[in-house]
Amino acid sequence: VDTIAYLRRFLTDSSSGVDVPAAILLETVQAEGGVNVARADWLRQLAALCHELGIVLIVDDIQVGNGRTGCFFSFEEAGIVPDLVVLSKAIGGGLPMSLLLIKPELDQWDPAEHNGTFRGNNLAFVAATTILQTYWQDDTLCHEVKAKEQVLAGGLGRIAAEWEGVATAVRGRGFIYGLELAPAGLAKKVSQHAFREGLIIETAGSRNQVVKCLPPLTLDSATLQQGLEIIQHSLRTALNS
Ligand SMILES: Cc1ncc(COP(=O)(O)O)c(C=O)c1O
């Protein structure tokens, strides 16, 4: 199904019953949604449609920005420029911080207008600045994440091949990957077994059917390998229990 053609039809047909929205907000990789990866071409077509119809394009890069997919922003590889970008999580290096990037022509706020008790946590600002200065002066981290992606995707692919029919998909970008397990409740069991073996791994998806790998971007190869072995072992244990 060409979902962009479907969307265009709805938004340009005045009898469709659907008004042109003020904005479209999306994740380029739906994280909690089950690690669903939007194609670069799909993103480009969506950005073009938004531009054509005057819809503000907002990318939620809270989970997959900050280098998670390799580049600093997850949409860079698609070559699109959203109107607004939401950033949080890793931007503060583990400290609470969130940012809203707005194209100047859309910014309605005056300086310091967006204030409140918890705005501008100074320690988080210092941590974020240090992270940007340490890791984002060049492309090194970006290349490292892409190299480690091969190991992660390859490892999950081998697990999926071993459990064909049980493991129904491996998908992701950069250092966010999901292993979809068809039997109800299996992903949760894997996560619980993995926890007992020292690996914290979450589940995602509408039925929590996906084991979601979101390792630290600075993870070393040996620890990555160890993590993959724990997932493999946990799956074996969960299936036999
Ligand atoms: C993609 C995405 N957007 C938004 C949020 C919500 O972020 P916050 O808790 O900072 O409002 C989360 C939290 O998990 C997220 O993963």
Question: What confidence tens digit (pLDDT) does each residue in 48-72 have?
Answer: 999 999 999 999 999 999 999 999 9
Are 237 and 193 within 8 A, CB to CB?
yes
DSSP β-bridge partners for residue 30: 36
Query: How high is the pLDDT of residue 116?
Result: 82
Which residue numbers in the chain have pLDDT < 70? none
Give residue 62 CA to ligand 1 midpoint distance, Å. Answer: 6
Give residue 56 CA to ligand 1 midpoint distance, Å. Answer: 20
Q: Which residues contact 99 (CB under 8 A, 6 or more apart)?
A: 86, 87, 88, 91
Query: How high is the pLDDT of residue 187?
Result: 98
67: alpha, beta or left, given left = phi > 0 and alpha = psi -120 to 50? left
DSSP β-bridge partners for residue 36: 30
CA nearest ligand 1 atom 5, residue: 62
Query: How high is the pLDDT of residue 241?
Result: 84
Query: How high is the pLDDT of residue 119?
Result: 80
Residue to mutate, 36, 86, 88, ligand 1, most ligand atoms under 8 Å from C-beta: 88
Query: How high is the pLDDT of residue 174?
Result: 98
Give the predicted TM-score (pTM) of the model.
0.94
Q: d(Cα 163, Cα 159) in Å, to the nearest integer?
A: 6
Query: How high is the pLDDT of residue 117?
Result: 82
Distance between terminal CA atoms of the chain?
A: 39
> pLDDT digit string (tens) for 221-237?
999 999 999 999 999 99
